[in-house]
Chain A
Amino acid sequence: MDLMHHSSTFLLPTIPLHHGPSLTYALVVLNQTLPRFAPLLWKHAQLRLCADGGANRVFDEMPLLFPEEDASDVRRRYKPDVIKGDMDSIRKEVLDFYRSLGTEIIDKSHDQDTTDLHKCITYIRDFAPDVNKSSQLCILVAGALGGRYDHEMGNLNVLYCFSALRIVLLSDDSLIYLLPRTHHHEIHIQTSVEGPHCGLIPIGVPSRSSTTTGLRWNLNNTEMRFGGLISSSNIVVGEKVTVQSDTDLLWTISIKKL
């Protein structure tokens, strides 16, 4: 089985050069309070997309992260490339503001079958013109957790529906991404910004056998399922965690409050 490497370098102030293929980041902002490190993610991303009410969040909250600066300057600097979705949450003043600055507005108000996140992922995968596709794409998502629980579950499901894409859901407290069963996984822990609390979650299907190294409570051909054992409140020990499993697992790790 092929090896897949993971590293939360997008949480570092500058992304170090390293041996593996470099990643191109896209950022999707959904309609929840921006995490405190949103400007950092914005800086690393080559494409910045707001899903509907996510544009309100960028408009209202980015200036709060730069209280010593003029709000208009901050808004101009943090202008999304695209705003996409139902358009039933975005405020008119926000829409007009970003449109006047050149943001592309894509109105999908006729399509009720998929969530805003789903629409944005599809857009990035299929249409995003300037994202360098020859290097690997990683989609960072802020605002997918919290709020209405059916939304949160729908957003987790998007990770499973697009299991061939690297998609990372981020909140102030945690990050989450899928470890597809088709690969062995090496997770390189950025100890300055993440950990030690972590978990491996078999959402949607029981796992007959998962094996890990690098955790306080490693799995060893261990069964996991909802209603039985799931690996939560685990601890990373050291800087490399490996995972292999017969099913897709969600990896989650805590983000340090610095």
Chain B
Amino acid sequence: MIAMDLMHHSSCFLLPTIPLQRRPSLTYALLVLNQNLPRFTPLLWNHAQLHLCADGGANRLYDEMPLFFPQEDASDVRRRNKPDVIKGDMDSIRREVLEFYASLGTEIVDKSHDQDTTDLHKCVTYIRDSASGLDKSNLCVLVVGALGGRFDHEMGNLNVICRFSSMRIVLLSNDSLIHLLPRTYCHEIHIQTSVEGPHCGLIPIGTPSKSSTTTGLQWDLNNTAMEFGGLVSTSNIVKEEKVTVQSDCDLLWTISIKKL
């Protein structure tokens, strides 16, 4: 049996403060796409060292961040939550929003000539290849706004996390978070019970899995086969504070986010 490296996962980015831990700490980048901001966006913003909007995501930031701080002046909130970069097609961002952030020093990277990849794809590539001043040795990209809206967009966004399988990319909505568990590792998922769970699932999105094994779930898998059209682990329940997963194929892990 081949000994596989262990990969640890923890939704520390959903905690008010990220606890010190023995493992090397992660650097977070936050990417905002064009859907309603989830309620914990300010929290993610605080944890991130790089803040990036994909095109119309800048409209969301401009319009909706002030709504999280109703007792404050909207302009102050916008100035305080200024993206470092706005990137993409530029076919959704409003002119006034673009000019507002440009005047504050946000880097505008116009990729309007490149129609072959989604906005998320372009932004992940940018973060991986270009973003200077970012410690990428232990990087985790948090993405809001990738789910909901047009279904082909949502699937295109899921495909991005499958294509960039060597990067930590987490898609977040008000209800759930999703990330890839690449087949090349055994996985330990440390459940932050104050903010996530208990509803969870393991999804063989791209290929059937001949064998997956878990611990820590209500309905654990034990060398179990999973495939669309047959068994897919959904409506599962996290039972313990540590869930382990190993599989012969890349799986999507999803867990519910608590409404606090």
Contacts and interface: CB of A to CB of B under 8 A. Distances in A.
A105 to B, nearest CB: 22
Interface string A147-168: 1111101101100110100000
B234 A153 contact: yes
Interface residues of A, number: 40
Contact of B235 (A151, A171, A232, A233): A151
Contact of A147 (B156, B175, B232): B175
Nearest to B227: A204
Interface size class, chain B: 35 or more
Interface string B145-163: 0011111110110110011
B69 interface: no
A230 B159 contact: yes
Given A226-B206, A227-B165, A232-B118, A154 B153 contact: no
Interface in A104-159: 115, 145-151, 153-154, 156-157
Contacts of B207: 204-206, 225-226
Interface in B215-255: 227-230, 232, 234-236, 250, 252, 254
A176 interface: yes
B228 A226 contact: no
A232 B120 CA distance: 13
A205 B203 CA distance: 12
A161 B227 CA distance: 10
A64 B222 CA distance: 48
Contact of B234 (A154, A204, A250): A154
A58 B178 CA distance: 30
A174 B203 contact: no
Contact of A228 (B151, B153, B163, B178): B163
Given A201-B155, A205-B207, A226-B162, A150 B236 contact: yes
B155 A252 contact: yes
A171 B176 CA distance: 18
A43 interface: no
A145 B151 contact: yes
B165 A174 contact: no
A153 B254 contact: yes
Contact of A156 (B147, B152, B173, B228): B228
A150 B206 contact: no
Interface in B183-235: 199-201, 203-208, 227-230, 232, 234-235
A90 to B, nearest CB: 17
A248 interface: yes
A202 B230 CA distance: 15
Given A150-B234, A174-B150, 20 more contacts: A148-B199, A149-B173, A153-B234, A153-B252, A153-B254, A157-B228, A161-B230, A171-B151, A173-B148, A174-B151, A174-B152, A197-B150, A204-B205, A204-B208, A204-B228, A226-B159, A226-B207, A227-B206, A233-B156, A254-B150
22 contacts: A115-B235, A146-B175, A147-B175, A149-B176, A149-B178, A150-B176, A154-B235, A157-B228, A157-B229, A161-B229, A174-B152, A197-B152, A199-B151, A199-B152, A204-B227, A206-B207, A226-B205, A226-B206, A232-B152, A232-B153, A233-B156, A250-B155
Interface of B: 118, 147-153, 155-156, 158-159, 162-163, 165, 173, 175-176, 178, 199-201, 203-208, 227-230, 232, 234-236, 250, 252, 254, 256
